[in-house]
A and B are shown apart, each in its own frame.
Chain A
Amino acid sequence: MAENNVSKTKKLFTVCGLVVLALGIILYFAKAPMGLNRKIYDLPIFLIIIGLGFACKGFMMKPGAKELELSKKSFGEFLTNNAILLAMLVLVIVICILQPRFMQIRVALDILTQSSTKLIMALGICFTLLIAGTDLSAGRMVGLASVVSASMLQTATYANRFFPDLPQVQLWMPILIAIVACMIFGALNGFLVAKYDMHPFIATLAVQVIIYGACSLYFDMPPNNSQPIGGIRPDFAQLGQMRLFAGIYQGFPGISILIPIALVICVIIWFVLNKTVFGKNVYAIGGNREAAVVAGINVFRNIMGIFILASCLYGIAGVLEAARTAGATNNYGNGYELDAIAACVVGGVSLSGGIGKVGGIVMGVLIFTIIQYGLQFINVSPMWQQVIKGVIIAVAVAIDLTKYRRK
């Protein structure tokens, strides 16, 4: 009986996938003769990708895997467990109908590009959430890193240079300085939390204010005097704006370099969390701190490590943000930490510590970016965007908590 069920599930996935795939291929060839080019844009390609995904999942399904039970109860459970994802899908469909241009490969790539820096932030902040803490200084660290790196990477001919006499230094030097500056503040975060057992909320709040003040002092130094930093060197701007494989076929906009950067960092963080002693310690401290101490884990060293690693990631995000916009002010990154925390929570990271996966965080960030981008795309008022964002966070956490209560 069970075997029969599994093969049913497998069949379902495979058949659905192949149907979508076939539909995609038909549309791909039919859209030009039918005059649908300006109506469905790249929809066929998306269908092909989705179809292939489902079909592959069906093929790869091992016998004995969890069976898909089709009943009213399981359907209801499925709806509540994936409410946010489904709401996003509905929104995407509505947007596609209102504004068919949404169905373009370049839009999908643009969303991934915008997700990249957010993902790096979220991966950093998830460490602090995993030990039942938080990090309010993350956004200001982004500002610090962007100002520090941009200030040393201006073209020689720019009229309003931050350091008028600075030679054209190697690209990596200012970037390293910016990231190290963040890591110093990260160490301060960790020290306050680990040494004095301060709640991370208050420790990082204090550090946040310090960073903003310090960054503003730096930004206000003569001759810059708080002017937005511009005249960014092209080689630095390329770091955030370069596009790979641009034009390999007609009209392909290219993949932003930010996407592979975020992917590499994602893999590294996954490795750190799942395959290293440090990663296991993070979960252990988050799950039960007393037990971790009894088990002989050096809590001080691990907490220091967590905050320094997190600040390193914020530093990277800040540098990329400066490169992407070819500019910086001390207001960059303002409020990013809350977006990152929200994305983590929507992605299933528990605020009480010990629970959270890299895959979930990626999902959380993507859901947030797609919704935000989509609402912007159909020109929804920013005030409504705020309301919708808040509702998503509340609903996501509510669902998560009911899930754990059931267990």
Chain B
Amino acid sequence: MRKVFILALTFLLVFSFTASADEIKIGSCIYRFNDAFMLRFRNAMSAESEKLGAKIEHADGQDNQITQNEQIDKFIADGVKVLIVNPVDRMSSQLIIDKAKAANIPVVFINREPPEEILNSYEKAYYVGAKAEESGTEAGQIIADYFKANPAADKNHDGKIQFVLLKGQNGHQDMILRSKYSVEAIKNAGIEPVEIASAIANWDKLQAMQIMNAFTMAIGPENIEAVIANNDEMALGAVEALKNSDYNKGDKNFYIPVVGVDANASALDAMNKGEMLGTVLNDSDNQGAAAVKLAYALASGGDVKSIGYEITDNKYIWIPYQKVTRGENK
């Protein structure tokens, strides 16, 4: 009886397009509010919900899986129709799926991909994101393209790229895949990559700056041919350190190409000034919209195939990355 009632209500909602007191409530759990990328993601989700006439509520997991679990419990108790979860620890997704399964509500994971077997354990679990390896591949391609266009970038004329790698938080999926595939992309472009130094800078500008400072002193800027950072903040930290050694200040003879990932405002600004070579846009607007559209369709019993995104294996929506290099942004 209750099911029929809910179904009728949903139909009423879908066909009338009016927001009522029983509008679809989406519970969104973000791993940490204070993260530039997830912020844009969050804003995109809010905008899309407004468009669809659904109500979305965001919770700040404060980078703590226990806090996030409590927030999920609270959302379920509040009677949300669907959960969108950006897990703090992707390996803990099983617990999240169990909670959703017990309450019989669909769950859409975003940004951090749960392991395949965990995602497959519940038919109403989905993942919306970008293939992390793609961001690495494209960052590597930016470097390889630059070398092909500027033979002088090969400072020691050995036909190889001597690069420094600045990595994100240890164990983070993006950090592992971006590091691996950016190097692979250079190899696939026919140039041999040589890692002369690498360090974990925890996605942080200040740490990246101090590490890069020590590296430039230890290796000598004239021996570094490229800097590959797992995100833009670290790339910008590296840029500040290079500027400290009078590199990347506009003189072509004193320039080291630096690439990041995210395409945040500061990175675009640095690229316009010629301090940074390029970045890769993780299309948060598109991902946010896709996550909400999928969640809405799931909660309202609509057809998930008609939301305008291709669903792979009945589980995944993949949003492609985009390369951004100097001159391509306004």
A interface residues, Cβ below 8 angstroms from B: 99, 101-102, 104, 106-107, 110, 114, 158-160, 216, 219-220, 225-228, 230-231, 241, 253, 321, 324-327, 329-332, 373, 376-379, 382
Q: Which of A102, A253, A325, A330 contacts B34 (CB 8 A)?
A: A330
B19 proximity list for chain A (CB < 8 A): none
A331 proximity list for chain B (CB < 8 A): 34, 204
Contact A377 B220 (CB under 8 A): no
For the complex, give the distance between the alpha carbons of A225 and B233 in Å: 16
Is residue B264 contacting chain A, with contact meaning CB distance below 8 A?
yes
For the complex, give the distance between the alpha carbons of A383 and B245 in Å: 27
Contact A219 B205 (CB under 8 A): no
A114 proximity list for chain B (CB < 8 A): 210, 213
Contacting residues of chain B (236-274) with chain A, CB-CB under 8 angstroms: 236-237, 240, 243-246, 264-266, 268-270
- Pick from B36, B205, B218 the residue with the most CB of A within 10 Å: B218
For the complex, give the distance between the alpha carbons of A228 and B264 in Å: 9
Further pairs besides A228-B205, A327-B236: 16, Cβ < 8 Å = A99-B218, A110-B244, A160-B266, A220-B33, A227-B264, A228-B233, A228-B264, A228-B266, A230-B265, A231-B266, A231-B269, A325-B205, A325-B237, A327-B205, A377-B217, A379-B197
Contact A332 B206 (CB under 8 A): yes
Contact A230 B236 (CB under 8 A): yes
For the complex, give the distance between the alpha carbons of A241 and B209 in Å: 13
A326 proximity list for chain B (CB < 8 A): 240
B218 proximity list for chain A (CB < 8 A): 99, 101-102, 377-379
Q: When A and B form their complex, which 4 residue pairs have the shortest distance between CB atoms, in order from nearest?
A: A230-B266, A160-B265, A376-B214, A227-B36
> Provided the pairs A101-B217, A159-B269, A376-B214 are in contact, do residues A228 and B33 lie with their beta carbons within 8 angstroms?
no
Contact B197 A216 (CB under 8 A): no
> Provided the pairs A159-B268, A230-B266, A382-B200 are in contact, do residues A325 and B206 lie with their beta carbons within 8 angstroms?
yes
A216 proximity list for chain B (CB < 8 A): 34
Contact B35 A225 (CB under 8 A): no
Number of interface residues of B (CB under 8 A): 35
For the complex, give the distance between the alpha carbons of A225 and B34 in Å: 8
Contact B34 A219 (CB under 8 A): yes
Is residue B199 contacting chain A, with contact meaning CB distance below 8 A?
yes
19 sampled A-B residue pairs with Cβ under 8 A:
A99-B218, A101-B220, A158-B265, A160-B265, A216-B34, A225-B39, A225-B43, A226-B36, A227-B36, A228-B233, A230-B265, A230-B269, A230-B270, A231-B265, A241-B240, A327-B266, A330-B34, A332-B206, A376-B210
B205 proximity list for chain A (CB < 8 A): 228, 325, 327, 329
Residue of A nearest to B35 (CB): A226
A99 proximity list for chain B (CB < 8 A): 218
For the complex, give the distance between the alpha carbons of A378 and B214 in Å: 9
For the complex, give the distance between the alpha carbons of A373 and B200 in Å: 15
B interface residues, Cβ below 8 angstroms from A: 33-36, 39, 43, 197, 199-200, 204-206, 209-211, 213-214, 217-220, 233, 236-237, 240, 243-246, 264-266, 268-270
B265 proximity list for chain A (CB < 8 A): 158-160, 227, 230-231
Residue of A nearest to B237 (CB): A325
Q: Which of B210, B217, B219 contacts A104 (CB 8 A)?
A: B217
For the complex, give the distance between the alpha carbons of A106 and B218 in Å: 11
Contact B33 A226 (CB under 8 A): yes
Residue of A nearest to B32 (CB): A226
A160 proximity list for chain B (CB < 8 A): 265-266
Contact A107 B217 (CB under 8 A): yes
- Pick from B213, B219, B237, B245 the residue with the most CB of A within 10 Å: B213
B197 proximity list for chain A (CB < 8 A): 379
CB distance from A142 to the nearest CB of B (A): 11
For the complex, give the distance between the alpha carbons of A225 and B209 in Å: 24
For the complex, give the distance between the alpha carbons of A376 and B219 in Å: 12
A101 proximity list for chain B (CB < 8 A): 217-220
A253 proximity list for chain B (CB < 8 A): 245-246
A107 proximity list for chain B (CB < 8 A): 217
Residue of A nearest to B211 (CB): A376
Contact A325 B243 (CB under 8 A): no
CB distance from A16 to the nearest CB of B (A): 30
CB distance from B104 to the nearest CB of A (A): 34
CB distance from A141 to the nearest CB of B (A): 16
> Provided the pairs A114-B210, A325-B206, A379-B197 are in contact, do residues A227 and B269 lie with their beta carbons within 8 angstroms?
no
> Provided the pairs A107-B217, A228-B264 are in contact, do residues A382 and B269 lie with their beta carbons within 8 angstroms?
no
Residue of A nearest to B196 (CB): A379
- Pick from A106, A230, A325 the residue with the most CB of B within 10 Å: A230
Residue of B nearest to A374 (CB): B214
CB distance from A38 to the nearest CB of B (A): 10
Q: Which of B33, B209, B237, B269 contacts A158 (CB 8 A)?
A: B269
B233 proximity list for chain A (CB < 8 A): 228
Q: Which of A158, A230, A373, A382 contacts B199 (CB 8 A)?
A: A382
A227 proximity list for chain B (CB < 8 A): 36, 39, 264-265
Residue of B nearest to A102 (CB): B218
CB distance from B98 to the nearest CB of A (A): 31
> Provided the pairs A159-B268, A321-B206, A327-B205 are in contact, do residues A110 and B34 lie with their beta carbons within 8 angstroms?
no
For the complex, give the distance between the alpha carbons of A40 and B204 in Å: 34
B200 proximity list for chain A (CB < 8 A): 382
For the complex, give the distance between the alpha carbons of A112 and B236 in Å: 23
CB distance from A160 to the nearest CB of B (A): 4
A110 proximity list for chain B (CB < 8 A): 213-214, 217, 244
For the complex, give the distance between the alpha carbons of A227 and B266 in Å: 9
CB distance from B132 to the nearest CB of A (A): 21
CB distance from A332 to the nearest CB of B (A): 7
A321 proximity list for chain B (CB < 8 A): 206
For the complex, give the distance between the alpha carbons of A275 and B57 in Å: 59
CB distance from A265 to the nearest CB of B (A): 21
B219 proximity list for chain A (CB < 8 A): 101
- Pick from A102, A158, A376 the residue with the most CB of B within 10 Å: A376
For the complex, give the distance between the alpha carbons of A104 and B200 in Å: 25
Residue of B nearest to A224 (CB): B39
Contact B39 A226 (CB under 8 A): yes
B204 proximity list for chain A (CB < 8 A): 331
Contact A226 B34 (CB under 8 A): yes
For the complex, give the distance between the alpha carbons of A287 and B264 in Å: 52
Residue of B nearest to A332 (CB): B206
CB distance from B40 to the nearest CB of A (A): 8
Residue of B nearest to A246 (CB): B246
A378 proximity list for chain B (CB < 8 A): 218
